[in-house]
């Protein structure tokens, strides 16, 4: 900042304050008010002088000016912040001067005055560098420059082994094609991470910490896959961390030997999946109202807008009448409270000419499972039922406290289940080999319903 001394002149015609620049600049003359009184603050040493027109004094009475640059700290360690101070008189714009040798300085955007905070690049070698600012009033330009001493940054160790989980696990997990994976990772002392592996959808540059969802393709072939992660900084990279993901269409081993729709001798039943075989229909108020081929009906969270229980959300479900079809949506109960109560509320279909029709529900640990004796022995008596009198009857569910009840399906926490639905006039307890599709589905081309989830908890 420029050094100056002040004189106050008193003439019959005018009273003036004159600022003299000891660095050789032009003196600045400011008119005082008629009753100006110079006051000196004894504590701060500040001098107070009332001026007649402050703006006119600076803009009209002074040429273009730029103060010397004040930079702190100096010296500075590479990778640290510096503060640059400056001020101007009569300037309309300022910018870094191209003569600057400090890395990255010329890319900064500057105002007419500081302060500006700037991070000296961590890779800057130790040495002396210049940073300069040029300011212009449109007709002329002034420049100020100063030297800054940069010290080498302290050596940084490469990142350590990052934490890395897939669906909360560090061991091999097994999923079905079309399932969604949640990958979470964190690394200390890293500037970025790199993802790689054989699982489609997981690759590229990642932040040092994050959570990402990867939805696999419903047509992803069965087999083992890997997801890998390595994190980096200027000093090197972390050890490579790999996690295993096995893709398999195989049903849970607990279902072996059970008569399930769509399998073995019951393969005449077709499970609704995705694409042209989806089970989700768009809203009747959306044009065109049609099947949502992107929905994957193998999983609750790829058919519904949210994972189970998806409280307050609704979808339209349907099966075609061209042959017996069933819906089996996999879901995990998560942290279901023991006393929570919910129900799947049914509305008549208002889409695609679908028939309402009587239907049968089950929640089971197996897909396409309508074996009443096995389900009740495993789950309790409320987890399989057929509509009694009306196709609009809800399906009720709850937490573990509901297991002893006969009208509500009780769920254990953090357990994998399937929501199974068929349209049929056969009563619950009919052997799966004798189940038939509701004739109304063929008559109207399809059967369907609007379904609203009532009841919620944080899974």
Percent of the chain clearing pLDDT 70 (strictly above): 85
Assigned token pair, 135 = 């300011």
Classify residue 143: in a domain, yes or no.
yes
User: What is the number of structural domains in the chain?
Assistant: 4
- Whether residue 115 has a cis bond before it, omega within 30° of 0: yes
- Domain match, 338 and 445 both: yes
**Mean pLDDT along residues 43-48:** 66
Q: DSSP letters along 10-51, please?
A: E-SS-EEEEEEETTSPPPEEEEBPTT---EE-TTT--EE--B
Lowest mean pLDDT among 3-12, 197-206, 319-328, 379-388: 3-12
- Domain match, 268 and 413 both: yes
- Domain match, 222 and 351 both: no
- Domain match, 46 and 101 both: no
Q: Is the pLDDT of residue 30 over 90?
A: no
- Domain match, 115 and 145 both: yes
Alpha helices per DSSP H over 46-150: 54-55, 61
Q: Is the pLDDT of residue 138 over 50?
A: yes
Classify residue 157: in a domain, yes or no.
no
C-alpha 207/C-alpha 185 separation (Å) is 9
Residue whose C-alpha is closest to residue 417's, from 375, 365, 367: 365
Where a domain ends, among 97, 124, 151? Answer: 151
Classify residue 459: in a domain, yes or no.
no
**Mean pLDDT along residues 286-305:** 89
- Domain match, 450 and 345 both: yes
Assigned token pair, 143 = 């420049």
Classify residue 432: in a domain, yes or no.
yes
C-alpha 108/C-alpha 99 separation (Å) is 14
The residue that leads in pLDDT, 165 or 251, is 165
C-alpha 78/C-alpha 92 separation (Å) is 32
Query: Residue 2: pLDDT band by 50, 70, 90 thresholds?
Result: very low
Classify residue 36: in a domain, yes or no.
yes
Q: Tell me, what CATH number does 81's domain have?
A: 2.60.40.10
**Mean pLDDT along residues 300-327:** 93
The residue that leads in pLDDT, 322 or 57, is 322
- Domain match, 326 and 422 both: yes
**Mean pLDDT along residues 302-320:** 92
Query: Residue 180: pLDDT band by 50, 70, 90 thresholds?
Result: confident
Q: How does the average pLDDT of the chain come out, rounded?
A: 87
Q: Is the pLDDT of residue 11 over 80?
A: no
pLDDT in the model for residue 22: 58
Where a domain ends, among 124, 151, 178? Answer: 151
Query: Residue 177: pLDDT band by 50, 70, 90 thresholds?
Result: confident
- Domain match, 320 and 287 both: yes
Residue whose structure tokens are 């005055």:
113
C-alpha 112/C-alpha 244 separation (Å) is 57
Residue whose C-alpha is closest to residue 432's, from 270, 316, 269, 295: 269
Query: Residue 226: pLDDT band by 50, 70, 90 thresholds?
Result: very high
Query: Residue 38: pLDDT band by 50, 70, 90 thresholds?
Result: low
Assigned token pair, 237 = 């990279």
Where a domain ends, among 151, 181, 196? Answer: 151
Query: Residue 87: pLDDT band by 50, 70, 90 thresholds?
Result: very high
Classify residue 377: in a domain, yes or no.
yes
**H or E stretch including 55?**
helix 54-55
Do 62 and 56 meet the contact criterion of CB atoms below 8 Å apart? no
State which residues form the domain around 144: 66-151
C-alpha 349/C-alpha 111 separation (Å) is 63
pLDDT in tens, 377-426: 999 889 999 999 899 999 999 999 999 888 899 999 989 999 999 999 99
- Domain match, 368 and 264 both: yes
Percent of the chain clearing pLDDT 90 (strictly above): 60
Residue whose C-alpha is closest to residue 238's, from 129, 164, 169: 164
pLDDT in the model for residue 179: 80
- Domain match, 264 and 147 both: no
Do 19 and 9 meet the contact criterion of CB atoms below 8 Å apart? no
**Mean pLDDT along residues 346-373:** 95
C-alpha 162/C-alpha 186 separation (Å) is 6
pLDDT in the model for residue 60: 47
pLDDT in the model for residue 167: 84
Assigned token pair, 378 = 């495993």
Classify residue 156: in a domain, yes or no.
no
Classify residue 158: in a domain, yes or no.
no
Instruction: Decide: helix, strand or coil at residue 318.
Output: strand
- Domain match, 187 and 257 both: no
The residue that leads in pLDDT, 229 or 14, is 229
pLDDT in the model for residue 12: 41
- Domain match, 436 and 294 both: yes
Q: Tell me, what CATH number does 199's domain have?
A: 2.70.50.50
């Amino acid at each position: 900042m420029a050094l100056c001394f002040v004189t106050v002149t008193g003439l019959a015609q005018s009273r003036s304050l004159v600022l003299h620049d000891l660095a050789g600049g032009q003196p600045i003359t400011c008119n005082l008010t008629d009753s100006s009184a110079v006051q000196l603050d004894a504590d701060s040493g500040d001098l107070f002088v009332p001026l007649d027109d402050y703006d006119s004094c600076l803009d009209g009475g002074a040429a273009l000016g730029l103060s010397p640059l004040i930079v702190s700290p100096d010296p500075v360690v590479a990778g640290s912040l510096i503060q640059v101070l400056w001020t101007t008189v009569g300037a309309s714009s300022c910018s870094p001067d191209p003569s600057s040798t400090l890395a990255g300085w010329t890319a900064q955007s500057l105002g007419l005055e500081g302060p500006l905070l700037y991070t000296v690049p961590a890779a800057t070698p130790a040495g002396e560098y210049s940073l300069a600012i040029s300011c212009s009033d449109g007709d002329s330009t002034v420049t100020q420059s100063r030297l800054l001493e940069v010290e080498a940054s302290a050596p940084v160790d490469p990142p350590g082994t990052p934490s890395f989980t897939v669906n909360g696990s560090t061991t091999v997990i097994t999923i079905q094609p079309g399932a969604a994976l949640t990958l979470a990772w964190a690394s200390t002392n890293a500037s970025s991470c790199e993802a790689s592996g054989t699982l489609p959808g997981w690759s590229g540059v990642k932040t040092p910490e994050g959570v990402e969802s990867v939805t696999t393709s419903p047509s992803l072939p069965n087999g083992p896959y890997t997801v890998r992660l390595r994190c980096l900084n200027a000093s090197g990279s972390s050890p490579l961390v790999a996690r295993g993901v096995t893709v398999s269409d195989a049903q849970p081993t607990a279902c072996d030997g059970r008569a399930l729709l769509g399998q073995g001798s019951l393969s005449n039943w077709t499970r609704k999946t995705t694409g042209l075989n989806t089970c989700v229909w768009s809203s009747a108020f959306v044009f065109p109202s049609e099947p949502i081929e992107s929905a994957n009906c193998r999983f609750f969270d790829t058919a519904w807008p949210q994972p189970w229980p998806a409280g307050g959300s609704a979808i339209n479900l349907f099966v075609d009448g061209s042959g017996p079809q069933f819906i089996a949506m996999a879901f995990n109960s998560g942290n279901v409270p023991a006393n929570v109560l919910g129900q799947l509320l049914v509305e008549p279909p208002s889409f695609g000419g679908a028939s309402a029709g009587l239907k049968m529900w089950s929640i089971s640990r197996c897909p396409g499972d309508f074996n009443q004796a096995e389900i009740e022995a495993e789950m309790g008596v409320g987890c399989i039922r057929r509509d009694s009198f009306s196709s609009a009857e809800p399906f009720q569910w709850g937490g573990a406290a509901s297991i002893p009840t006969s009208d509500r399906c009780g769920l254990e926490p953090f357990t994998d289940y399937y929501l199974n639905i068929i349209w049929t006039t056969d009563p619950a307890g009919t052997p799966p080999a004798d189940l038939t599709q509701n004739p109304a589905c063929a008559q109207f081309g399809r059967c369907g319903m609007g379904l609203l989830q009532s009841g919620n908890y944080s899974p």
